[in-house]
Amino acid sequence: MKLDIAFSGCRIDRADHLRGDPQALAALMTHHARLLGMGGLDPALTADGELVWTSLAEADPEGELVFLGIEDGRACFAPVPAIANVGPPNPRLWQALAAVSSEDLAAYGVARALVGWHARHRFCAQCGGATVLTKGGWQRNCTACPAEHFPRTDPVTIMLVEHDGALLLGRQPRFPAGRFSALAGFVEPGETVEEAVAREVLEEAGVTVRDVTYVASQPWPFPSSLMIGCHAIAEGTAITIDVNELEEARWFSRPEVEAAMAGDPDALFIAPPVAAIAHQLLRWWLAR
Amino acid sequence: MKLDIAFSGCRIDRADHLRGDPQALAALMTHHARLLGMGGLDPALTADGELVWTSLAEADPEGELVFLGIEDGRACFAPVPAIANVGPPNPRLWQALAAVSSEDLAAYGVARALVGWHARHRFCAQCGGATVLTKGGWQRNCTACPAEHFPRTDPVTIMLVEHDGALLLGRQPRFPAGRFSALAGFVEPGETVEEAVAREVLEEAGVTVRDVTYVASQPWPFPSSLMIGCHAIAEGTAITIDVNELEEARWFSRPEVEAAMAGDPDALFIAPPVAAIAHQLLRWWLAR
């Protein structure tokens, strides 16, 4: 089945070959170029929930710009905010994004992940020197040592764990009341995707899994992850949660998952939001 | 089929719950603890190609240590080198690693990726302040601002592109003479795995692909990537290479791939090494 992966499907051509060509980039920065309207890491939106594109004349002359690529023959840029903000997105942003088209959401996601990375990487992790944006914003170079730095994307596994037709879902303390979702965790150095899935489920819920399979992936710009959605079979049902990670973990039957995904007010839990890959994994699982 | 994914299958229990417990970590640092012998980022090896484990008494009192986890009841640590080294591994290292067991290779891979990250992250990318190792080496904190930094793992797609029973393989200028391998490239912010595969193949070889599927993944500690191995179907065979990325790209028939994988001296190309996921993807493709 076709999943609706939020933040994917960006229509802007990344035009990778232009990034390393300062003359070509400069030639694109005309009055035809478009600047994405942003307030810090949040998007400016019209009353209809559309992204706001202005011109480079609106850019802060002291600020840095990231070249997103080319759409409809016009170069697209996004402004790096002056202040690094590593907090989670505010809840009102989620409400606003619900009205945004999938194409706009994808363009915003690329911009947010990139400009957020720049705002948090003004200094060289290797020597502490100041860094400067280069290659149209797809690299930063240190001004004091030869180090080159590249935008970071963190792989995260997120998994539906199944046993005898039931699914293991968990609650993080920060979730809204009633919400359960798929377990998830960062892939660590030295792990395959499959090993990371098995370790996370064992750590967080005390459940041993086998037969890990890949289902789908999603770019997640808060701040910049690659969610790798998987399915696994549990060896048993006994749960021992890691209280530092989860508040609760439970097995839900297929009808219980169906009720939650249908938004039934009597459902045992509230499903993850449509924009999250966990929601799409649950759709995939119910449709199998 | 079972693939032999080098650098996976580490037998050390990461014991995640101990990382955030300074008292427990301190209690593990006894004469029972093991220190991985390393020279910079390279492993010390016995004449039989085994990793050398010494005791914490051998550690540089000024140096930082990373807690790898627990194996056979003993805590395992690795030393952070004093100097950051971001260059590629030297060719002699590859020769030496060929004799190392898969378990030792996996333990070394985790250690190399982690200690290399520490050596390159002694300063805060957000403010330029000095950082200190914390949580047993699974985090660094800034001493001048509230920023927390985590080991980095870069997702990379690597793909077998197929058309009518033939495979598209490419040569990077840095490859040994005769070597062809799978195309590959970093996943960028705002992309799914499938989108990254399609973009890379189009950028590097001018070939449009569809039906991207996941095959297998591999941790790659040079310096710290997650290789995501995929298969895709090409829409056509016309190739236009990006000369900044590739020296050559060609279609190889199944018998031509078989000859290369068999090490036939008359083969049209030299296959990627066994330790690379590209080799395993080719094995998988031939066995289908």
The residue among A143, A217, A231 with the most chain B CBs within 10 A of its CB, best to mutate, is A217
Q: Is A188 within 8 Å of B17 when comparing Cβ atoms?
A: no
Residue A258 near residue A271, CB atoms below 8 Å: no
pLDDT for the residue B256: 98
Q: Is A189 within 8 Å of B126 when comparing Cβ atoms?
A: no
Nearest to B156 by CA among B117, B207, B195, B196: B196
Nearest to B187 by CA among A108, A155, A196: A155
DSSP character at residue A131: E
Question: Which residue is closest to A15 within chain B, CA to CA?
Answer: B203
Query: What's the rounded mean pLDDT across residues B92-96?
Result: 87
Q: Is A86 within 8 Å of B224 when comparing Cβ atoms?
A: no
Architecture of domain A154-287: Alpha-Beta Complex (3.90)
A-B contacts at Cβ under 8 angstroms: 169
Q: Is B192 within 8 Å of A10 when comparing Cβ atoms?
A: no
Considering CB atoms only, which of B86, B129, B151 is closest to A189? B151
C-alpha torsion sign, points B98, B102, B107, B109 = positive
pLDDT for the residue A44: 96
Query: What's the rounded mean pLDDT across residues A239-268?
Result: 97
Instruction: Work out the minimum CA distance from B129 to partner chain A, whole angstroms.
Output: 7
Considering CB atoms only, which of A124, A154, A214 is closest to B214? A214
Q: Is B8 within 8 Å of A192 when comparing Cβ atoms?
A: yes
- The pair of structure tokens assigned to A211 is 């037969």
Q: Is A189 within 8 Å of B114 when comparing Cβ atoms?
A: yes
Instruction: Work out the minimum CA distance from B177 to partner chain A, whole angstroms.
Output: 26
Considering CB atoms only, which of B84, B113, B217 is closest to A189? B113
Query: What's the rounded mean pLDDT across residues A247-269?
Result: 98
Instruction: Work out the minimum CA distance from A260 to partner chain B, whole angstroms.
Output: 27
Q: Is A126 within 8 Å of B121 when comparing Cβ atoms?
A: yes
Weakest-pLDDT range from A191-200, B81-90, B128-137, B241-250: B81-90
Q: What top-level class would CATH report for the domain B16-149?
A: alpha beta
Give ranges for CATH 3.90.79.20 in chain B. 16-149
pLDDT, tens digit, 9 for 90 and up, residues A93-136: 888 899 999 999 999 999 999 999 999 999 999 999 999 999 99
Residue B66 near residue B78, CB atoms below 8 Å: yes
- The pair of structure tokens assigned to A116 is 């957020």
State how far the Cα of A280 lies from the Cα of A272, in Å rounded to an integer: 9
Nearest to B173 by CA among B240, B92, B245: B245
Contacts of B228 in chain A (CB under 8 A): 193, 228
Question: What is the predicted ipTM?
Answer: 0.97
pLDDT, tens digit, 9 for 90 and up, residues B112-124: 999 999 999 999 9
Question: How much is the CA Rg of chain B, to the nearest whole Å?
Answer: 21
Q: Is A191 within 8 Å of B150 when comparing Cβ atoms?
A: no
Residue B263 near residue B164, CB atoms below 8 Å: no
Contacts of A131 in chain B (CB under 8 A): 125
Contacts of A128 in chain B (CB under 8 A): 122-124, 128-130
Query: What's the rounded mean pLDDT across residues B68-80?
Result: 97
Give the rounded distance of the alpha carbon of A118 from its chain centre. Answer: 16
pLDDT for the residue A104: 97
Considering CB atoms only, which of A5, A7, A190 is closest to B110? A190
State how far the Cα of A187 lies from the Cα of A197, in Å rounded to an integer: 8
pLDDT for the residue B86: 63
Give ranges for CATH 3.90.79.10 in chain B. 154-287
Q: Is B187 within 8 Å of A242 when comparing Cβ atoms?
A: no
Instruction: Work out the minimum CA distance from A106 to partner chain B, whole angstroms.
Output: 7
Q: How confident is the model at residue B83 (pLDDT cuts 50, 70, 90)?
A: confident
Nearest to A161 by CA among A185, A137, A179: A185
Query: What's the rounded mean pLDDT across residues B62-88?
Result: 91
pLDDT for the residue B74: 96
State how far the Cα of B251 lies from the Cα of B279, in Å rounded to an integer: 16
User: Which amino acid does the sequence have at A169?
Assistant: L
Considering CB atoms only, which of A14, A114, A219 is closest to B199? A14
| Angle, CA B189 vertex, CA B185 and CA B195 arms, to 5° | 60
Q: Is B128 within 8 Å of A128 when comparing Cβ atoms?
A: yes
> Residue B186 pLDDT more than 70?
yes
